[in-house]
Structure 1
Amino acid sequence: MNIDLSPEAIEYGRQASRALKAAGGDRLVQLAEQDPKGREGLAAPVFAELGAWDLDARGSADESEAAAALCRSAGYWAVPYPVAERLARPADLDTDGLVVVSDTGPAGAVAGLELRWTAVTLDGRRSAATALPSDASPRTSAFVTGLDLRPLDDDGARDVALGLVLPCWTLLGMLDRALELTCAHVLVREQFGKPLARLQGLQFQLTDAEVERGGLEMLAKYALWSVQTGRDDALKDALALRLAAIEAADVVFRVSHQLHGAVGFCDESTLSWLSRYSQPLRRLPHGLSATRDQMTRRIGRRGLTGLFGDAREAATP
């Protein structure tokens, strides 16, 4: 088992990050919020130039890993565009993207985009989805809008795991950036005549946040591998990843906001934008409690197989 991304995928992610920085970087989300109707023109051409829509996230390991690396780079810059959803599009339908939705109140961060969507529930029920018109400001909605669903007479169970895993890579990119910004902040700010970074209490908090982020990165690689190899437990692994992603985001953003202080909630702080636009990823299709419930019901008493499942089963008398 090798869950590390290939060197080619990692390099692709680096090139994507550089391209997004050149296209505006942190300004992309700000410009999209100022002109919601123009957000398609801000981000989509960059991804098209990178060949993003030619990637088959269900194809070879190299392509699925490149898709994950691209999602991570998009999250790093809080790009206001449903990259993961587009990369997770079903292979057997003429559609532009896939949104995993809840059974009640289906919604997605797809407002104002002239794209064809497919929605799928955790039970694998697929629907053709149309984004409903919304008067809500992106300031408060982060482009989330309700979806009008028209059920399809087929089974989309094979789509769910990938549809859950790729957005977690986007959220991982956001946590990368949040911790990077926080470390830079405490290194240049001083209190009691020394940098904040030298205060032991702050070091403990940053360590806790990095442990959560690092653990999420390992789980993201494992869940991607699980989907790639078509494991029977891929959906359970994807739900475990999503649960870990929500929990890690809670810790990382809490620590980041605490160490930034009031400035972390101001528009001049990149952390503020990251935090706000992470909300759809953390709340849709289900928040922390509902995700935990969904995972528990599917796993039951059997538990997760995990990295050491074979060894555990071999040791069972």
Structure 2
Amino acid sequence: MNLDLSDEAIEYARQASRALAAAGGDQLAQLAEDEPDRRAGLAEPVLENLGAWELEPRTSALELEAAAALCRSAGYWALAYPVAERLARPVDLAADGLVVVAGPVPAAAIAHLDLRWVAVTLDGQRSSAIAKPGSEPTRTSLFVSELELSAIDDDGAKDVALGLVLPSWTLLGMLDRAIDLARAHVGVRTQFGRPLSAFQAVQFQLADAEVERMGVEVLAKYALWSVRNGGDDALADALALRVAAAEAADTVFRAAHQLHGAVGFCDETALSWLSRYSQPLRRLPLGLSAARERLTELLGRRGLTGLYCEPLGAEQPLDASPV
């Protein structure tokens, strides 16, 4: 089992990150929040130039990796646009994107977008979805709106895992950026004549945060392989990634905010925007406790298959059966 992304996917992510930085980087989220109706216009031209909507992650292992890498780049810049949800679109329905929903009040961060949406529950029930008009300002709603659903069918079992995994790659990109911002901050700030990065307590905080981030990265790659392999464990692996990413986000953002101090909550810093726009990904469709409960119900007493179930030397190619 080779969990490393292909060189093509890595290079695609590098080019995507450069394109987003050149288009405005951190300012893209700020502009979208100030003028919500420009949300699509700010992001879509860049994504179209990157060929994002030409990717077919359900049919090609290489394009699945490229889609995940693109989601990570979008997360790194806290792009206020549902890249993962659009890449997870179903292939058998006329739709522009897919959102996974749960609970009595389904919601998703798809406000101010004139697109055709399909929502799928964790049980595989698919519905057409329309974002309801909200009364909250974008600063507090973060483009999240309640959804009006109209049931279509119950053929969405294979949609759920992909719909959970790709947004987790977006959150992984946000964790990458939070670590980078924290490192840069403690490298330039001084205390008692020394940079903050020279203090052991700061080094320990950064090390703990980086361990959490690295763990999510490995699980994200494994869950991507599991989705591509199309086995019975794909949903469990996607939920496990969801839980791990939410747990890591708590640790990473807590450390980043502590190391930044009060300035980390001011909009003059990129960390403030990154932290706020990570909230929908951390809370929807399930918060941490609800995701743990759902994973426990799904697994029962059998447990996760995991990375180390295969005999040593056993190889399972990424390009197995399609999603």
In 2, Cα distance between equivalents of 1:96 and 1:132: 17
Q: Specify the alignment match of 1:167 in structure 2.
A: 167
Shift of 1:154: 3.3
> What is the one-letter code of the residue matched to 2:305?
T
**Alpha-carbon deviations, 1:163-187, whole Å to 9, x = none?**
0000000000000000000000001
Q: Specify the alignment match of 1:261 in structure 2.
A: 261
> What is the one-letter code of the residue matched to 2:24?
G
* Equivalent runs, 1:136-147 vs 2, <5 Å: 136-147=136-147
In 2, Cα distance between equivalents of 1:167 and 1:280: 10
Q: Specify the alignment match of 2:279 in structure 1.
A: 279
Q: Specify the alignment match of 1:315 in structure 2.
A: none
Shift of 1:153: 2.4
In 1, Cα distance between equivalents of 2:212 and 2:231: 25
1:98 and 2:92 matched: no
Shift of 1:297: 0.3
Q: Specify the alignment match of 1:120 in structure 2.
A: 120
In 2, Cα distance between equivalents of 1:208 and 1:59: 37
In 2, Cα distance between equivalents of 1:298 and 1:250: 24
* Greater Cα offset, 134-143 or 271-280: 134-143
Q: Specify the alignment match of 1:155 in structure 2.
A: 155
Unaligned segments of structure 2, at least 5 residues: 313-323
Shift of 1:60: 1.1
> What is the one-letter code of the residue matched to 1:211?
V
Q: Specify the alignment match of 2:317 in structure 1.
A: none
* Equivalent runs, 1:269-308 vs 2, <5 Å: 269-308=269-308
In 1, Cα distance between equivalents of 2:219 and 2:156: 24
What secondary structure, in the 3-state scheme, does the structure 2 residue paired with 1:310 have?
A: coil
Q: Specify the alignment match of 1:10 in structure 2.
A: 10
> What is the one-letter code of the residue matched to 1:294?
R
In 2, Cα distance between equivalents of 1:154 and 1:205: 45
In 2, Cα distance between equivalents of 1:138 and 1:3: 38
Q: Specify the alignment match of 1:19 in structure 2.
A: 19
Q: Percent identity?
A: 70
In 2, Cα distance between equivalents of 1:204 and 1:176: 17
In 1, Cα distance between equivalents of 2:70 and 2:132: 28
1:53 and 2:53 matched: yes
In 2, Cα distance between equivalents of 1:261 and 1:49: 38
In 2, Cα distance between equivalents of 1:127 and 1:14: 35
Kindly report the root-mean-square deviation, in angstroms, between the aligned alpha carbons of the 2 structures. 1.1
In 1, Cα distance between equivalents of 2:64 and 2:287: 26
> What is the one-letter code of the residue matched to 1:291?
A
**Alpha-carbon deviations, 1:20-45, whole Å to 9, x = none?**
01111010000001100111100011
Shift of 1:310: 3.0
> What is the one-letter code of the residue matched to 1:145?
S
**Alpha-carbon deviations, 1:253-278, whole Å to 9, x = none?**
00000000000000100000000000
